[in-house]
Amino acid sequence: MLAEFAALPTAVSDALDHLGLPGSALGIAPIGSHPRMLDGTASEVPQRGRMKQSAALYRRIAMSRTVAEQFVEVLVAAGVKRVYGIVGDSLNGLTDAIRRHGGIEWIHVRHEEVAAFAAGAEAHLTGSLTVCAGSCGPGNLHLINGLFDCHRSGVPVLAIAAHIPLREIGSGYFQETHPESLFKECSHYCELISGANQMPRTLEIAIREATGKRGVSVVVIPGDVALQQAVDAPPPSALGLLPPQAVVTPAEADIDRLAAMLNQQGRVTMLCGSGCAGAHDEVVALAERLKAPIVHALRGKEHVEWENPYDVGMTGLIGFSSGYYAMLDCDLLLMLGTDFPYSQFYPRKTGTRIVQIDIRPGHLGRRAPLDLGIVGDVKATLTALAPKLRQKSDTAHLEQAQQHYRKARKDLDVLAQSGARTSLIHPQQVAKAISDHAAEDAVFTCDVGLPTVWGARYLAMNGKRRLMGSFWHGSMANAMAQAIGAQAAFPGRQVISMSGDGGFAMLMGDFLSLAQLGLPVKVVVFNNGALGFIELEQKSTSFVPIGTELNNPNFAAMAEAVGIHGIRLEKPDDVEPGIAAAFDHNGPVLIDAVVNRMELAMPPAVNLEMAKGFSLYMVKAILNGQADQVIDLAQTNLWR
Average pLDDT of every residue of the chain: 88
pLDDT score for 503? 97
**pLDDT tens column, 506-530:** 999 999 999 999 999 999 999 999 9
CA–CA gap between residue 219 and residue 210 (Å, rounded): 11
Q: Give the Å distances, CA to CA, from 569 to 171, 183, 269, 320, 528.
A: 55, 42, 42, 28, 12
Q: Which residues contact 213 (CB under 8 A, 6 or more apart)?
A: 188
Question: Which of 137, 138, 139, 150 lies closest to 86 in space, CA to CA?
Answer: 139
Residue 67: Cβ-neighbour burial (10 angstroms; 0-12, 13-18, 19+): buried
Residue type, 431: A
CA–CA gap between residue 395 and residue 266 (Å, rounded): 10
Query: Is the pLDDT at 189 greater than 60, yes or no?
Result: yes
The model carries a pTM of 0.86
Q: CATH assignment of 416-637, given 3.40.250.10, 3.30.70.360, 3.40.50.970, 3.10.180.10?
A: 3.40.50.970
pLDDT score for 621? 47
174, 344, 391, 440: which one is catalytic? 174
pLDDT score for 317? 84
Question: Which of 141, 166, 17 lies closest to 88 in space, CA to CA?
Answer: 141
283, 448, 453, 525: which one is catalytic? 448
Count CA atoms closer than 13 A to 273's CA, side-chain side: 20
Provide the annotated binding site.
Answer: 112, 315-318, 338-342, 358, 474-476, 501-503, 528-534
**pLDDT tens column, 381-436:** 999 999 999 999 999 999 999 999 999 999 999 999 876 567 899 999 999 999 99
**pLDDT tens column, 293-325:** 999 999 999 999 999 999 999 998 888 899 999
Provide the annotated binding site for FAD.
Answer: 315-318, 338-342, 358
| Confidence band for 181, pLDDT divided at 50, 70 and 90 | very high
H, E, C per residue of 434-452: HHHHCCCCCEEEECCCHHH
Provide the annotated binding site for Mg(2+).
Answer: 501, 528
Average pLDDT over residues 536-565: 93
- The more confident residue out of 546 and 638 is 546
pLDDT score for 244? 86
CA–CA gap between residue 558 and residue 195 (Å, rounded): 48
pLDDT score for 53? 52
71, 117, 511, 533: which one is catalytic? 533
Residue 351: Cβ-neighbour burial (10 angstroms; 0-12, 13-18, 19+): exposed
Residue 181: Cβ-neighbour burial (10 angstroms; 0-12, 13-18, 19+): exposed
53, 175, 400, 635: which one is catalytic? 175
| Confidence band for 346, pLDDT divided at 50, 70 and 90 | very high
**pLDDT tens column, 434-482:** 999 999 999 999 999 999 999 999 999 999 999 999 999 999 999 999 9
Would residue 174 show up in a list of annotated catalytic residues for this protein?
yes
Q: Which residues contact 483 (CB under 8 A, 6 or more apart)?
A: 121, 443, 445, 495, 496, 497, 519, 521, 523
H, E, C per residue of 268-291: EEEEECHHHCCCHHHHHHHHHHHC
CATH architecture for the domain at 67-241 = 3-Layer(aba) Sandwich (3.40)
Would residue 320 show up in a list of annotated catalytic residues for this protein?
no
Run of H or E including 325: helix 321-328
Determine contact, residues 334/353, Cβ cutoff 8 Å.
no
What is the topology classification, in CATH, of domain 252-405? Rossmann fold (3.40.50)
Residue type, 375: V
| Among 40-54, 172-186, 596-610, the range of highest mean pLDDT | 172-186
pLDDT score for 234? 86
pLDDT score for 52? 53
Determine contact, residues 151/187, Cβ cutoff 8 Å.
yes
Query: Is the pLDDT at 38 greater than 80, yes or no?
Result: no
Strands (E) across 337-484 are located at 353-358, 372-375, 443-446, 466-469
The angle at the Cα of 636, spanning 631 to 640, to the nearest 5 degrees, equals: 115
| Confidence band for 604, pLDDT divided at 50, 70 and 90 | low
Region for 542 from its dihedrals, namely left if φ exceeds 0, alpha if ψ lies in -120 to 50, beta otherwise: left
Query: Which residues share a beta bridge with 159?
Result: 132, 218
Q: What DSSP character marks residue 199? A: T
Question: In the chain, where are the structural domains located?
Answer: 2-63, 67-241, 252-405, 416-637
- The more confident residue out of 10 and 340 is 340
Q: Give the Å distances, CA to CA, from 470 to 225, 230, 410, 446.
A: 35, 39, 28, 8
Would residue 109 show up in a list of annotated catalytic residues for this protein?
no
Q: Which residues contact 104 (CB under 8 A, 6 or more apart)?
A: 72, 75, 76, 80, 81, 82, 83, 98
pLDDT score for 623? 47
Provide the annotated binding site for thiamine diphosphate.
Answer: 112, 474-476, 501-503, 528-534
Determine contact, residues 84/133, Cβ cutoff 8 Å.
yes
pLDDT score for 238? 84
Question: Which of 157, 471, 160, 196 lies closest to 341 in space, CA to CA?
Answer: 471
**pLDDT tens column, 196-242:** 999 999 999 999 999 999 999 999 999 999 999 999 988 888 888 99
Query: Is the pLDDT at 97 greater than 80, yes or no?
Result: yes
Does this chain's domain 67-241 share its CATH topology with 252-405?
yes
Determine contact, residues 480/445, Cβ cutoff 8 Å.
yes
pLDDT score for 398? 98
Q: Which residues contact 520 (CB under 8 A, 6 or more apart)?
A: 487, 495, 585, 586, 587, 588, 589
Would residue 112 show up in a list of annotated catalytic residues for this protein?
yes
69, 73, 112, 204: which one is catalytic? 112
Would residue 175 show up in a list of annotated catalytic residues for this protein?
yes
pLDDT score for 59? 44
Query: Is the pLDDT at 259 greater than 50, yes or no?
Result: yes
Run of H or E including 411: helix 396-415
Give the SS3 label for residue 134.
Answer: strand
**CA–centroid distance for 540 within its chain:** 29
